[in-house]
Amino acid sequence: MSASLGKTLAIILLVIIVIAAVAGLRYLVFPWGITGGVFHGFHGLHINRAAFWAWPFIGIAGLFGLAVLFLWIAVVVWVYRDAEKRGLNGAVWALVVFFAHVIGLVIYILIRSEHPVAAPASGPPAPACPRCGKSTGHEHAFCPHCGERLRPVCPKCGADIQPDWKACPKCGEKI
């Protein structure tokens, strides 16, 4: 499992734990709103079996509330992944957006525009020719555009050498 997938699953698990805690304390935290529709029919241990399977089981407001909840979890996961791609702390921004809702999302969208997506490093840039300035490959001994020598060579055999070498490894000539 990749590190990014593990972090994403950890964020989703944290969101589910928070939702479960809020569901248990829903009368203290949200005495009004969509949670009443979501938990319609679950009032303690007294469940009417006939009403338990009756449609709508959780109510239309409850279905709407669940849809909004799943959409919001998707937004939180998107914010996490987007923040990580932009070099920001994804976990912090995901929590800010989860708890601050639309205000947190607006703040994140304003902040994210200042941090472009980090380009993946593809290795060192190709060297430029000292005479013509055009890019050359790392393996080139001479510039393909102007013919300028790019790396030192042995004066006797012409083999490539490093600037700090004292002798040619091919012919043994002192440099």
Measured CA to CA, the distance from residue 65 to residue 72 in angstroms comes to 10
pTM greater than 0.85 (yes/no): no
Question: Is residue 50 over pLDDT 70?
Answer: no
Contact 171, 154 (CB under 8 A): yes
Last residue of a domain, one of 67, 85, 112: 112
In a domain, 49, yes or no: yes
Measured CA to CA, the distance from residue 131 to residue 108 in angstroms comes to 47
Instruction: Name, in order, each residue with C-beta under 8 angstroms of 82's C-beta and a sequence gap of 6 or more.
Output: 90, 112
Question: Is residue 168 over pLDDT 80?
Answer: yes
Residues 80 and 160 in one domain: no
Read off the tokens for 161. Answer: 């050498």
Domain range enclosing 138: 129-175
Residues 52 and 138 in one domain: no
pLDDT at 24: 61
Tell me the pLDDT band of 25, cut-offs 50, 70 and 90. Answer: low
Residues 85 and 22 in one domain: yes
Domain count, the chain: 2
- Classify residue 135 by its DSSP letter: B
